[in-house]
Structure 1
């Protein structure tokens, strides 16, 4: 699941999140940890321009700081940046930060990356917005080297060039998973050719099979034979019968019925689903997390 509170776009944030606290984030992450969730995720935006603030809000926690904070209060759940806009920073800076997170969390990092879409934040930090796709492509290659086993990584590219510069601590994982976010043709191709996983962004169920087939076709044509983790973001969920209006798109009902609906994602070739629960408070959310882990997840297979 993507964590609430840490990003508050009007598209998905619940009203109670505006007053959410660090203590609430701790309880939510611990609930996900106890319930057997695969990961908790945090978003990345440096600054939101005034023209986008009414829709996006300006509350966007730094993902590295947020995930490091939660690493210290959880034991098993993995820590995903969904997604880090790596083109805003030099790959050696990104590698130093996330290698440290992997080290401190004893190997729980998943590095989700994306191209970004807000021109003003690129301009503010001196990053190239027009070429952000090409920048991301090379940044992934550079990060592969910088997050690998070598203390002195080597990368010679068009945009980034480094050798003879040591970085420790190294990641605990021999290969940090890099999941590529986005559903545009360029993002799907990038995930197919360079990613260990794909994080679609907003694809409805009916579009996913075509997108997944395209991903595998491009990957095969590129000669990449390593497995790829395919993700999906589900419809909003509510375990049980809600006593309030959860919206017409929200899946709700008995655990077995929810599980039957969610198993359709597996039939499409999806390996992991990212879920979001409708809630009116932190307590209702943690109750939903617990109910999902205890009553729905066992039916998912």
Structure 2
């Protein structure tokens, strides 16, 4: 399994984020991203929310750094770790705009972009952005197909997109928690990023072909230094469920402790799950 990082600071969900993240900034973020890069982590992530309804803040949190700006910044401070959106809400973006903006990032980063995409679940945010809530599933399918066709192409529909990605394929991880999202991933993507599901439920749904990415998360911060047994138990359950990639976060008291925890997690995975 490949080990990835659910990037702290840039998304702060209550119950997941640690208190120190509220006052952390680019310095701490850069330190952690470089540590993950040096440790051989496969990818780091950033989510996509323009605004969160005040009524939903207690559960979802309100801190969501812009993914394009954030991943572009981190691309300049890392060398090999992949840059994954987790996830872009397709209804908020024109597919050609995504091909242009993230294609530019892919070129700048040396081909390190992973497009995590999803249908979206916040009706209020759709309304805020003037996006279509009804039929968002079929609309997302059409947008995803168009995005795939445009990726890495210089000319699309009579328009020249310069710069564009240097390759015509890109890893596309489809988020969701339903069988329909899994079908979308199998048909239009290269991987599936389920959320809010038990490992046993994921295992019962999966019949993925070889080469298909299954990107799973423990759902809670791990503490590999303080409770190695619990961390290993959680990771092993995800491997049993069919994970090919893990996206993890860790408990920490500050950025330095976070980097130490990443090193402990890397060592744990290498010893027991390689």
For the criterion TM > 0.5, the same-fold answer is: yes
Q: Which residue of structure 2 aligns with residue 110 of structure 1?
A: 114
Query: Which residue does the alignment assign to 1:246?
Result: none
**Does the 8 A contact of 1:258 with 1:296 survive in 2?**
no
Distance 2:50 2:140 in 1: 17
Specify the alignment match of 2:245 in structure 1.
Answer: 272
- Partners of 1:151 and 1:168 within 8 A in 2: yes
Q: Would you say how many aligned residue pairs link Structure 1 and Structure 2?
A: 269
One of 190, 211, 228 as aligned partner of 1:253: 228
Change (3 A) 1:265 1:57: closer
Q: How does 1:58-97 map to 2 (within 5 A)?
A: 58-97=62-101
Residue of structure 1 in register with 2:59 after alignment: 55
Greater CA drift, 261-270 or 29-38: 261-270
Q: 1:95 to 1:174 in 2, by over 3 A?
A: closer
TM-score, L = length of structure 1: 0.84
2:40 corresponds to which residue?
A: 36
Partner of 1:297: 270
User: What residue number does 1:2 align with?
Assistant: 6
Matched, 1:236 2:221: yes
**RMSD value, Cα:** 1.8
Task: Give the aligned partner of residue 166 of structure 1.
Answer: 160
Shift of 1:226: 7.2
Give how far 1:99 is off: 0.2
Partner Cα distance (2:210, 2:165) in 1: 21
1:179 to 170, 173, 180: 173
2 CA distance for matches of 1:55 and 1:266? 28
Q: CA deviation at 1:267?
A: 3.6
**TM-score scaled by structure 2?**
0.92
Contact 1:152 1:167 in 2 (8 A): yes
Could you say which residue in structure 1 is the equivalent of 2:102? 98
Cα displacement (A) at 1:281: 1.5
Report how far residue 52 of structure 1 moved: 1.2
SS, match of residue 95 in structure 1: helix
Q: Distance in 1 between matches of 2:11 and 2:137?
A: 24
Equivalent residue for 2:254, pick from 281, 284, 297: 281
Instruction: State the 1:185 CA deviation.
Output: 2.7
Query: Is the deviation greater in 265-274 or in 33-42?
Result: 265-274
- In the alignment, structure 2 segments of 5+ residues that lack a partner are none
Aligned residues of 1:239 and 1:253 also touching (Cα < 8 A): yes
Q: Bigger CA drift: 93-102 or 291-300?
A: 291-300
Q: Structure 1 residue aligned with 2:206, among 196, 199, 212? A: 212
Q: What is the distance in 1 between the residues matched to 2:64 and 2:95?
A: 21
